[in-house]
């Protein structure tokens, strides 16, 4: 993987993180809007309940307390049902947003891990390749030094080595070249 590809991967990962932040902000805004809607619903329910209570209180004096209590109870049940329904919707939306956020965080972490592994592998390959090139250059420089000192010369199509009158042997097959 080239340096340019790594840069492009980094830019894409940055864009992914920005998209996650944008989605998180949008989710938070939806959550706030839902909470505001719940608050408005509760206020309206309270106002309707208060109006119903006043109306029923007036009617109760005329028709008796039993009918007013029943109407109050029905109004209270309706308000509680609406509040429970809104709270459940808010809970479901909150859970969905949490799951979305966890999914995108997992995707971003996976992408970062893959990018890190690719970067480390690419760097290791470059170091290995450079080391091999350096070893080859050092070997060629050593051959040039030996040729320049006259220890290594061409003998037609072959290479000849000047080893002196009493060469130092490494073993039965090899002779140590003198340093000059």
176 and 139, same domain (yes or no): no
99 and 87, same domain (yes or no): yes
Confidence of residue 140 (pLDDT cuts 50, 70, 90): very high
Q: Can you give the pTM of this predicted structure?
A: 0.42
Residue 152 sits at φ, ψ, to 5 deg, of -115, 120
Residue 168 sits at φ, ψ, to 5 deg, of -85, 125
DSSP, collapsed to helix, strand or coil, labels residue 170 as: coil
172 and 158, same domain (yes or no): yes
State the residue range of the domain holding 180: 153-180
63 and 102, same domain (yes or no): yes
Largest CA distance in the chain: 139
Residue 155's DSSP bridge partners are: 158
Which pLDDT belongs to residue 62?
A: 66
In this structure, are residues 26 and 37 in contact, taking their beta carbons and an 8 Å threshold?
Answer: no
62 and 103, same domain (yes or no): yes
**pLDDT per residue as tens digits for the range 1-44:** 788 887 787 888 788 788 888 888 888 888 888 878 878 888 88
């Amino acid at each position: 993987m080239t340096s340019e590809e790594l840069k492009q991967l980094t830019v894409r990962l940055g864009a992914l993180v920005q998209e996650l932040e944008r989605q998180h902000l949008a989710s938070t805004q939806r959550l706030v809007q839902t909470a505001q809607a719940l608050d408005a619903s509760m206020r309206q329910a309270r106002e309707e309940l208060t109006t119903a209570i006043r109306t029923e209180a007036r009617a109760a004096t005329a028709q008796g307390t039993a009918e007013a209590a029943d109407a109050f109870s029905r109004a209270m049940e309706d308000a509680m049902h609406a509040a429970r329904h809104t709270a459940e919707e808010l809970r479901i939306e909150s859970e969905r947003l949490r799951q979305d956020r966890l999914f995108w965080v997992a995707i971003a972490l996976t992408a970062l891990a893959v990018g890190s592994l690719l970067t480390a592998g690419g760097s290791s390959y470059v170091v290995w390749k450079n080391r091999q090139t350096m070893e080859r250059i050092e070997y060629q420089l050593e051959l040039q030094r030996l040729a320049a000192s006259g220890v290594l010369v061409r003998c037609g199509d072959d290479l000849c080595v000047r080893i002196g009158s009493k060469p130092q042997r490494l073993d039965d097959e090899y002779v140590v070249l003198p340093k000059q």
